[in-house]
Structure 1
Amino acid sequence: MKPLQFKSFSILFLIITMLLTGCVSKKSATLTLSNQEALDHMQSEEVKSTLITMINAIDTKQWERAASQFVDDVFVDYSSLSGQPGAITPAAALVDGWKSLLNSVQTHHLLSNFDITLNNNEAEVFSHVYASHQADSIGYWDAYGQYHHKLRKVDGNWKITSMTLLMHGQKGNLNFIQEVLKMNETNAASALQPDDGSSKKVQFPSQGESVVGNLFFPEDYKVTKKYPAIIVSGSWTTVKEQMAGLYAKKLAKEGFITLAFDFRNFGESGGSPRFHENPARKVQDIKNAVVYLRSLPTVDGEKIGALGICAGAMYTLMAAADDQRIKSVVTVASWLHDGEAVKLFYGGADGVNEKIDAARMAKRKYDQVGEVDYIKSISTSDPSAAMFGPYDYYLNPERGAIPQWSADKFAVMSWEDWLTLDPMPTAALLTVPTLMIHSDGAVLPHYTKKYFENIGTTDKALYWLETELESPYHQFNFYDQEPEVSESIAQAKKWFATKL
C-alpha cells in the first residue's frame, strides 16, 4: 500500500510539472488514468475490508467492533428470510439483536465474489454469502444467497448504510432460529433472578459503552411471567442510588419491573469525560435502556414506560418524543427550560454567555491535552458551583449527599450542552399517554404547564400538588420526602396500570 501511495505522489508531481511547462503528452494521460485505477482499487479494498471486518466481528462475538462498521442508523432488509419488510434501525439495536440471538450459537460467514461500484464517497456492493450456524442440542443450519450492501465514507472511513439479504436456499434444521430463541429465553429467564430477593445489578451497552443499572422486581416475581417495565431517570449529575433508585424500588412493589441506571460518564457506567452532563447522550441512554428491557424474557416489550424526575423528566420526554417503543410517560417535578429560563438561574444573559465560553474553552483543552476542568457540583460558599445555594438534598448525607455521588466534580464543558438545550419543541412530537406531576413550589412551574399544553395527544393529565414552599424549594421534596414521593408513586401507579 505504501509504495503505491508513493508512486501516486510521484505521478501527480510529474503531471503538475508537465502542465506548468506545457509538456502534457499521451503518456502523461496514461499515467493519470493508471493513477485513478490504483485509487479505485484501494477504495474497493477498503470497502471490502469494512464488510469482512463486520462479518468476522459477528463470528468472533466482538459486538462493539461489529457496530463500529455501521452508520448510526442503517437500513436492514431480511425479508427474504423473515418475511418482515426492511426498515431503518439504530445500528446499536441491530447489533444488540444479533448479540442476543447468537450468544450461544457458533457462526461462520463466508463472503465472496465481490462486485463493487464506487461513486465518489458512496459504494454499492453485491457479494455471495454462505452462513453456517451451530448450537448445542439444536443441530446446524446453513443459509446461502447474496448480500447487497451500501456504504458511505464518513470521516475517512467506509461505513455500512444499508444491508439486504437475498436468500437463495438453506439446509439443516429449518426451525433453527425459532429453537435458538426459545433456548435463549429459557436460559435468560433462569439467569434473571434477583441478587437479594428484590433487585439485580445489570449491564447493557449504549453506543459502545457499558451502562450499569439496578433492576428491581415485583414481590410476586416469577420467571415464567411477563411484566410491564418502567425506566426511571433522576436529576442532572445524579446516580442510580439517589432519587431514581428510590422511585424504581417503590414502583417495583406496585407490580412493575423497573430499571434505574447510571448514565454514561457517571457512577459505575463507562464513558468519558467523567461527570460531563451531556443531554444528547442521556437521551440516547434512555433509548438504549428500552432496547435492553425489550431483550429480557420477563418483560413485555409492548408495555415499557418511563418516569423522569427533575432533569430526568426532560430527558425522558425528549426520548419518548422520538421513540415510540416508550408507550407511556410520567414526569415528577420536571425541569424544563429554554434560552430565557436559564438566565433566571445562571446569572442573566452575561452569566449564561460566560459559562458557555468557559465550556468551549474546556472542550478545546480536553481535545488538545485530554484534561478535564471541573467545578463543584454543589456549594453554599462558592458561586462558581453548578448548584449554588442551601439545597439540603445535595448537602445532607442522609438524603442525596451519598458516597456514590460526586459533590465536587461537575465538568465545566457541560455548560454549553446544558444551557443551549431547548426541549420545548419536542412537546408537539410527543404522542404517547403522558402524566405530569408538579407544584407551584417546584422549579419553573409555568414551563411544565407550557410543555403540557403543547403535548401532541389528548391522552394527557396534569397533577398539581399543593404546597406553601416557594419555588424552587418544593422541588427537592419530590426527590425523597413524604408525602410527595408516596403521592407521586400512587399517581404513577394508576397511570401506568391504565396506559401500559
Structure 2
Amino acid sequence: MLFERDVVFFSQGTPLAGRLLRNTDDEALPQPVVNVSGSWLTVKEQMPLLYARRLAEAGFTAFVWDFAGFGQSGGEIRQFEQPQRKIADIRAAADFVRGFSFTQGQKVAHLAVCASAQYTLRALAGGAALDAFVSVAGWYHDAASVAPFYGGAQGVATRLARADAAARVWAEQREVVAVPAYQAGNEQAAMFFELDYYANPARGAIAAWQNEMAEMSWRHWLTFDGLSAAAQVSTPTLIFHSDGAVLPDNARAVYARLRGPRDLVWSQGNQVDFYDLPDHVDRAMAALQPWLEQQLRP
C-alpha cells in the first residue's frame, strides 16, 4: 500500500506544491529518497507520478512537485518555461526532502524524464545536494541541436521574434501571451507534431495539465545550453536512452563529458513511450532500480 502526502515547500520565496510517496505510514522509518521530474510544460501528475509510484513500491521515498508557474504551485508568469527558475526549484527540492526524520542519514537521488534532465544536470553543476542522478530519455540540447526541430534558422528567428514581442507585452501590460503547449499542425504551438501522449486523455492529456505555454518561453528554450554543464558534474549518473529517443548523440555526449562514475544503458523505444507505456517503463525501471539500490543503499 502506498501513502501519498501533499506538502508545500518554497523555492526562491515561491510556494510549490509537492507530494511525498512512501510504502509505509511509519514516519520514522528511514528510506533513501528519489526526487522525480518530467518533461517541459508538464505537471507532477503526468510522467513524474508514474515513476514515483514505481519507486515508492520498491521501497524508496519518492517526491514529485509542480515547478513554479505550473500546476498547483505558485509563481508569477504561468506556464513559463524558464530554465533557471526550474533549476532553482530542483535545488530547492533536494534541500527540502533532507529535512524529514525519515531521510536523516539517507541519500537523495534525482530521476529526470525528458527535458528536466538537462535542468538537473545544470543544477548538479551548481552544487545541488544530490547523491545520484538518473536520466530517462533525457532531452539535452543547445542552440544548434534544437534548431532543426523548429525549421532551422528561420523557424528559430520567427519564434524568437514572437517571444520578444510577448515579453514586451508582459513588461508593459503584465499580460501573458499564451500559445498551446500541444496542438498538432499548429506551428505556433510549443509541440506541433503528432504526439499521442499529449492528445490522449488516457495518457498525458489529463485534467491537471494546462495545455498552454507562455510564448516568451521561446527565448529561453531555444537558447538554453543543456550540454556543457556535464563537464562539471561528478555525481554518479545513469543515462538511460535509445536511438528512438530524442537527440541520442547529445545523450552520448553528456555521458562522455561527465567527470564522475557513470553508466550508460541503451534501450529501444521512442521518446514519449518512455513517459508511460508499461513495457517501456518496465525496461527503464529494470535498469534504474538496481542502479539506485547500489548507489543509495550500498
TM-score by length of 1: 0.58
Q: Give yes or no for the alignment of 1:225 onto 2:29.
A: yes
The equivalent of 2:202 in structure 1 is 398
Distance 2:105 2:157 in 1: 44
SS at the partner of 1:298? helix
The equivalent of 2:258 in structure 1 is 455
Determine if contact 1:232/1:306 at 8 Å carries over to the other structure.
yes
**% identical equivalent positions:** 40
Q: Which has the higher contact order (CA 8 A, sep 6+)?
A: 2
Determine if contact 1:203/1:213 at 8 Å carries over to the other structure.
yes
Normalized per residue, which structure has more strand?
1
The equivalent of 2:236 in structure 1 is 433
Q: What per-residue deviation string (whole Å, max 9, x for no partner) do you get for residues 120-149 of structure 1?
A: xxxxxxxxxxxxxxxxxxxxxxxxxxxxxx
The equivalent of 1:492 in structure 2 is 288
The equivalent of 2:16 in structure 1 is 211
Q: 5 Å matches for 1:54-203?
A: 197-203=2-8
TM-score by length of 2: 0.96
Q: Give yes or no for the alignment of 1:464 onto 2:266.
A: yes
SS at the partner of 1:435? strand
Q: What per-residue deviation string (whole Å, max 9, x for no partner) do you get for residues 307-344 of structure 1?
A: 00000111122112222520000000000111111111
The unaligned stretches of length 5 or more in structure 2 are: none
The equivalent of 1:319 in structure 2 is 123
The equivalent of 2:44 in structure 1 is 240
Structure 1's 342 and 412: CA in aligned 2 closer, same or farther, altered over 3 A?
same
- Tell me by how many angstroms 1:221 deviates: 4.8
Determine if contact 2:180/2:189 at 8 Å carries over to the other structure.
yes
Distance 1:302 1:291 in 2: 13
Distance 2:201 2:64 in 1: 20
Distance 1:317 1:386 in 2: 23
Determine if contact 1:244/1:260 at 8 Å carries over to the other structure.
yes
The residue identity in structure 2 corresponding to 1:490 is: A
The equivalent of 2:188 in structure 1 is 384
SS at the partner of 2:284? helix
Q: 5 Å matches for 1:416-431?
A: 416-431=219-234
Q: What per-residue deviation string (whole Å, max 9, x for no partner) do you get for residues 375-397 of structure 1?
A: 11111231211101110000000
Query: Radius of gyration: which is bigger?
Result: 1
Q: What per-residue deviation string (whole Å, max 9, x for no partner) do you get for residues 16-56 of structure 1?
A: xxxxxxxxxxxxxxxxxxxxxxxxxxxxxxxxxxxxxxxxx
Q: Which runs of 4+ in 1 moved over 3 A?
A: none
Q: Give yes or no for the alignment of 1:264 onto 2:61.
A: no
Q: What per-residue deviation string (whole Å, max 9, x for no partner) do you get for residues 390-417 of structure 1?
A: 100000000000011112x210000001
Distance 1:228 1:455 in 2: 24
The residue identity in structure 1 corresponding to 2:230 is: A
Q: 5 Å matches for 1:266-281?
A: 266-281=70-85
SS at the partner of 2:108? strand
The unaligned stretches of length 5 or more in structure 1 are: 1-195, 468-473
